[in-house]
Structure 1
């Protein structure tokens, strides 16, 4: 079976609020919204997540945020990330203008889940350059270790 073509390993998402929506109302479901279809299932945070997966997810989040903030070189992310993720982050962070004061990043919260035995997903709320952003990682287990194979963030 042929693998579907993959998109970029790192995706930077620009946050734009929905027009005409203010505050948390955008998160409230519409009245009478239909229930989810039978193909979907609810995966609660930490379902099936063991200590090893949680530790790797937290380390990957911390390292990725430090790379995004410019306080750590992207090559150091190679400990927990696939080469494609490291290359794309290095290219993105290399385009930034040097100089200026670098504010240390902060990880506010991290949640992990394991939708299948060889895949884990982590989401985090982080502070980069004094602004709050979202970060999502996909971790895959291969050759005896967990590695970040995809990263998506709203951080600049």
Structure 2
């Protein structure tokens, strides 16, 4: 038996099983880049519809029909001769509660007033689509 001289003498155990290695994920990597791009486009489209600078039917590029119908009912055709202040997106945040779901929130300025947006995006049939929308804008 070897002499330990003050060190704890334990037989080395087998190396612990390791799960997948952790990696640094940078903005713009893989799927997150795709969902961030769709979320950004959806936020811009919604803000432009709210401001009256874009017709609501163009939301069909990123939203399911139910969301498009609600927005069209609330925000009909454009400004019709009145001066429109361009909308502005101040900040956005994105989270992924699951692999096929992303939720984004944004702080925006529409008609000179600050509002909040919340969008739920779901991956269906190979595309990210806005399936729910909430806003503080009128």
* Alignment partner of 1:59 out of 22, 41, 45: 41
Query: What is the CA distance between 1:101 and its match in structure 2?
Result: 1.4
Task: Look at both structures and tell me which one has the larger radius of gyration over its CA atoms.
Answer: 2
Structure 1 ranges of 4+ moved more than 2 A: 94-100
* Alignment partner of 1:75 out of 53, 57, 65: 57
| Aligned counterparts of 2:37 and 2:79: Cα–Cα separation in 1 | 33
TM normalised by structure 1 equals: 0.66
TM normalised by structure 2 equals: 0.74
| Aligned counterparts of 1:79 and 1:128: Cα–Cα separation in 2 | 21
What corresponds to 1:115 in structure 2? 97
SS at match of 1:94: coil
2:76 pairs with 1:94? yes
8 Å Cα contact 2:56-2:76 kept in structure 1: no
SS at match of 2:44: helix
Structure 1: runs of 5 or more not aligned: 1-45
8 Å Cα contact 1:57-1:122 kept in structure 2: yes
Structure 2: runs of 5 or more not aligned: 1-26
User: Larger RCO: Structure 1 or Structure 2 (Cα < 8 Å, ≥ 6 residues apart)?
Assistant: 1
8 Å Cα contact 1:49-1:112 kept in structure 2: no
Matches within 5 A, 1:5-154: 50-94=32-76, 99-154=81-136
